[in-house]
Structure 1
């Protein structure tokens, strides 16, 4: 072959060799994977740095290994990100980062940095470009954290959650002038006196799950998000003498011990205020007592310094600027009324959540809600009266979700819901409100009535009427509606078969739990996806379920003994979720259980609680198939005894009769010897 013919082949081989050389030179047994400029070495049981090609490596992931000391990354000068979470890391050698001029992100979460924090501190001081640092879950105390954070002036994000911090002061973060996001949740802090005065760029602060008793003199005007939930805060008082507008948009004070509505800034942009699960209420009615016009409140901290604050606790001005509020969450408090003009001050309010309070009345007219209201939840209160007129209902033109469940309502304004043009979801569960018959319909909005008209509300999609003591539902009750969710559970004895037919084209969820229903024809409900038939003493599953494309079926707490094989296969091919606990199945007829188990797409919720019986009193867990047997029972010896005893008695009796028939003298002689003895006279 001419030499010229080899040239193209050699050129191709040379190109392939150049492509494959970096791969072949990389150790084949290495636990790492190279993805562009990232080395992923997680879960490799590594105790030291692996061998990696140093060229242009920018990210190194070493999470979930066993590296106790970090000391070998000098050969990677291009690194931007290092992640060493969950290693048991104890220290970083002081000179490790001397070549890491580009390192910006460092993750040391869930390690043991507290052991060698001094060496680690020396190493961190060489990172002049570091922006993100995660030191969470490292058992760091105040002194250790202060040492680790010295001179990290470039830091923007810092995570110190899950450590042992107790007290913060003005020196704690004094070098972090560029800090924007600080996570301090799940520590043991009870004091943060002037801790953030050196952080003018701080925008997000998380103080949740600590032991803070109060937040007074709040003056962080640049802060956008403050989460102080799950503490022991009784007071939140912002500085009132500042004319600067606070940038705070989200304030979370939920799950604390607030007694009063927080004293918010006079000028703010607050949009989301979360105050759920406190002890908050309003005290405006105390203003009639002249001796309480001014209240002196004394605040103490652990340095035994005292601050006196004199305030009229029922003064509307103390509510601060709430004009931009979008969401107000007051769930789980002790609010029994709204102060005059309180609702009116929130002109942008779209979500008001008031469940689990003490409201007894609600006057939609006097409260003066704005048209921005989208969600109104007043469930689980003590409401026995709601007042409204045409004007107030017209204002609520954007109201979409209205929850009045678990109150004491027996009457409502007749046109309360039909006058809301965009109402989408109504929950009246556990009130004594019925459904009007056609002859009970009234057109006056303000007239109170014990029943309501549901048809002709075109926007309504979800209707919840659980536990309303409904007995009869008029045939025309849902005519003209396009409901997707209808909940009628906990209405024992309710008859709904005829009234449901008008919803067959749109209904997706139907709740009929605890209604004493035995059978219902759902074959025409082609859109139905979720069905609740729990607590109904059902002995079989209605056959009409095979004809619909059901995804969720709840048949808990019935009297099912088995599910026929064909029915189980049909359901298993469609269902995604099924609830079966609370039935006592027959242990010898459980093929349906294996059918559902084999169907990988079906989730049997509470599978470990499904039980069966193999006798009158013996109950077993269906999952524990070793504990019961369904083979034919062995014949008991008792039956043989019961059969042989009569036979033996019969044979014995016949033998005695025959014997005495042929030997009569023996009986006479025996009688004479025993009873006919001679007597002397």
Structure 2
């Protein structure tokens, strides 16, 4: 009868009278009755603007059936009710929580994600048994200091709020295992985080962090650290001492150097794509004994060291969208399941081999190990001829690789001597990347019957001229890092185009002409301002296998996109949409497409 006594202390009759009408319209009495027996109450998605009193007082007030039933069976003994341990009030319209929250001291799980909360009550700190607290997708600007009283808390989810700082006393949450602070406005991480001795997963992605405290290395149990999409320029060297670290995400930052990880013997995945890393050296690789996934896409790497072959466990290697001109033949000794190389000015591997996929590339590299070694590629690059204009044209590349290369000259126009050097030779590839071109060289049309591969990346092109659209044999076109916001309709005549890279431009929509190029297999349009795609037109692109829409302005993903079943790779990270959630995206393309199809209106 302890509950009867507790109820008497709080004047249960008054609370009961106040709560009856309140619950009658918003919460079915059957749900409350069941919750008294199970200890669990789910009120998600009921458009609640406030939590009914009868919910807070569910274990305090005498239930209504007690006043109506004279004899009780075993199932009606209301005085034997179970304390509420799990309360879910997610996906409602709550703007605040009452201090009456303290009337549920037995709670172990409180889930109030997807509401409109701007603050949390200090009474939250009295829920000493709480183990999981989910307040994600709200509008919190600060956290009450009392939250640090939740000493039994194991999971704390604060992602997608407006937090600018974290209480220093967070160190008192010494049982915390999972902490998600992603998609907030944090500029610093308190050094006191180092005292979270039980922490295994820490998500700090999509904030405004410029640095990490060296003390973070004291998190000896940390297995997963996510710092994607911040402003990090360096990583503290102490991070290399985190012995339990298995997954490290540093994508979309401003890193210029790859950290070394001598103590991270268990590191399985390292994601440092979309940074400004220029050098990958042996010292960066020699300790990655357990690495399975290495993501280096969208950096400024010019070479890959022979020591890459030391990563015997490596399964996935992403080198796409760098400045790599040749690969070490030793790479062929790895047992890779996935190797991404698109968007590189590779000169030593024919496009037809690259298009055949990972295993064919590895076989090719392995076959070359028995030849003269990697110095072959160096001789190709260094062989040059000086023309009267003192412009260096790689004549050897023209003759042996069928490549017209005038890249990395920072010039505003391509000299006539470059085209003159072609003479009667057959040219299949053009590389004019890393210049200051503001327009397509008109003489490019002279090669229209031969060229299949054109690289115009890292220039200043505001638009494309019709000359480019006359290259009828074009299969690969790299236009990343320019000033483009549209494509000419004439591009529809490129009926052999298979891959186009439009990343890092100024597109606000997926260019209409792309829907009409049915041969397209790969569209890379990350890091633009694309706000929408047309799923019905996309469905007609039966050959499209890869669509990269990362880091754009997509507020929603149309469910009909799930009907594009030919897609094997759909990349959507870094957009402001709320669904699908990150957990779905991490499961891969097939799971995302299935999720979208399940939500198509019938």
Cα shift readout 1:415-449 (whole Å, capped 9, x = no counterpart) = 241232x2222111111113459998765666472
Q: Is the 8 A contact 1:433 1:468 kept in 2?
A: no
The reply on whether 1:275 has 2:195 as its aligned counterpart is no
The reply on whether 1:172 has 2:123 as its aligned counterpart is yes
* Aligned equivalent of 2:336, options 413, 423, 428: 423
Give the match's secondary structure for 1:102. Answer: helix
* Aligned equivalent of 2:139, options 188, 193, 209: 188
Q: Which has the higher strand share?
A: 1
CA separation of 1:471/1:205 partners in 2, compared to 1, >3 Å: closer, same or farther? farther
Q: Is the 8 A contact 2:231 2:254 kept in 1?
A: yes
Cα shift readout 1:145-197 (whole Å, capped 9, x = no counterpart) = 432x222122121111123333346x332332221211101111121143333
d(CA) in 2 for partners of 1:172 and 1:426? 53
d(CA) in 1 for partners of 2:32 and 2:368? 82
d(CA) in 1 for partners of 2:311 and 2:184? 36
* 1:622-633 alignment runs, 5 A limit: none
CA separation of 1:137/1:188 partners in 2, compared to 1, >3 Å: closer, same or farther? same
Q: Is the 8 A contact 1:224 1:250 kept in 2?
A: yes
Structure 1 residue 325: deviation in Å?
1.1
- What residue is the counterpart of 2:73 in the other structure? none
Instruction: Give the alignment's TM-score, normalised by structure 1.
Output: 0.47
Give the match's secondary structure for 1:239. Answer: helix
Give the match's secondary structure for 1:362. Answer: coil
- What residue is the counterpart of 1:408 in the other structure? 323
Q: Is the 8 A contact 2:210 2:233 kept in 1?
A: yes
d(CA) in 2 for partners of 1:136 and 1:324? 34
Give the match's secondary structure for 2:123. Answer: coil
Q: Is the 8 A contact 2:323 2:345 kept in 1?
A: yes
The reply on whether 1:151 has 2:151 as its aligned counterpart is no
* Aligned equivalent of 2:516, options 537, 557, 569: 557
* Aligned equivalent of 2:184, options 231, 255, 260: 231
CA separation of 1:69/1:557 partners in 2, compared to 1, >3 Å: closer, same or farther? same
d(CA) in 2 for partners of 1:139 and 1:90? 13
- What residue is the counterpart of 2:37 in the other structure? 102
The reply on whether 1:247 has 2:215 as its aligned counterpart is no
CA separation of 1:160/1:374 partners in 2, compared to 1, >3 Å: closer, same or farther? same
* 1:447-596 alignment runs, 5 A limit: 447=375, 449=377, 493-494=451-452, 516=474, 536-537=494-495, 557-558=516-517, 578-579=540-541
Give the match's secondary structure for 2:304. Answer: strand
Give the match's secondary structure for 2:114. Answer: coil
Structure 1 residue 328: deviation in Å?
0.7
Structure 1 residue 514: deviation in Å?
8.8
* Aligned equivalent of 1:132, options 69, 77, 86: 86
User: Which has more radius of gyration?
Assistant: 1
* Aligned equivalent of 1:347, options 265, 272, 283: 265
CA separation of 1:228/1:214 partners in 2, compared to 1, >3 Å: closer, same or farther? same
Q: CA RMSD in A?
A: 4.5
- What residue is the counterpart of 1:371 in the other structure? 289
The reply on whether 1:326 has 2:246 as its aligned counterpart is yes
Give the match's secondary structure for 1:223. Answer: coil
The reply on whether 1:335 has 2:255 as its aligned counterpart is yes
d(CA) in 1 for partners of 2:253 and 2:303? 20
d(CA) in 2 for partners of 1:354 and 1:559? 33
CA separation of 1:251/1:105 partners in 2, compared to 1, >3 Å: closer, same or farther? same
Range with greater deviation from structure 2 (160-169 or 397-406): 160-169
d(CA) in 2 for partners of 1:321 and 1:366? 14
d(CA) in 1 for partners of 2:332 and 2:404? 19
- What residue is the counterpart of 2:57 in the other structure? 122
Give the match's secondary structure for 2:110. Answer: strand
Cα shift readout 1:512-545 (whole Å, capped 9, x = no counterpart) = x99547xxxxxxxxxxxxxxxx975279xxxxxx
d(CA) in 1 for partners of 2:27 and 2:48? 6
The reply on whether 1:163 has 2:115 as its aligned counterpart is yes
d(CA) in 1 for partners of 2:21 and 2:450? 64
d(CA) in 2 for partners of 1:132 and 1:350? 35
CA separation of 1:92/1:514 partners in 2, compared to 1, >3 Å: closer, same or farther? farther
Gap regions ≥5 residues in structure 2: 1-19, 62-80, 351-363, 381-402, 406-425, 430-448, 454-470, 476-491, 498-513, 520-537, 545-561, 568-602
- What residue is the counterpart of 1:523 in the other structure? none
Q: Is the 8 A contact 2:285 2:311 kept in 1?
A: no
Gap regions ≥5 residues in structure 1: 1-66, 72-88, 284-313, 453-466, 474-490, 496-512, 518-533, 540-554, 561-575, 583-600, 607-681
CA separation of 1:172/1:365 partners in 2, compared to 1, >3 Å: closer, same or farther? same
- What residue is the counterpart of 1:259 in the other structure? 210
Q: Is the 8 A contact 2:22 2:54 kept in 1?
A: no
- What residue is the counterpart of 1:550 in the other structure? none
CA separation of 1:145/1:124 partners in 2, compared to 1, >3 Å: closer, same or farther? farther
Q: Is the 8 A contact 1:206 1:227 kept in 2?
A: yes
- What residue is the counterpart of 2:69 in the other structure? none
d(CA) in 1 for partners of 2:472 and 2:297? 22
CA separation of 1:580/1:396 partners in 2, compared to 1, >3 Å: closer, same or farther? closer
* 1:35-46 alignment runs, 5 A limit: none
Q: Is the 8 A contact 1:240 1:265 kept in 2?
A: no
CA separation of 1:440/1:328 partners in 2, compared to 1, >3 Å: closer, same or farther? closer
- What residue is the counterpart of 1:432 in the other structure? 345
* 1:659-678 alignment runs, 5 A limit: none
Structure 1 residue 493: deviation in Å?
4.5
* Aligned equivalent of 2:311, options 396, 402, 408: 396
Q: Is the 8 A contact 1:275 1:329 kept in 2?
A: yes
Structure 1 residue 384: deviation in Å?
1.7
CA separation of 1:163/1:602 partners in 2, compared to 1, >3 Å: closer, same or farther? closer
Cα shift readout 1:463-489 (whole Å, capped 9, x = no counterpart) = xxxx9999779xxxxxxxxxxxxxxxx
Q: Which has the higher helix share?
A: 2
Give the match's secondary structure for 2:275. Answer: coil
d(CA) in 2 for partners of 1:442 and 1:363? 24
d(CA) in 1 for partners of 2:264 and 2:220? 13
d(CA) in 2 for partners of 1:399 and 1:131? 44
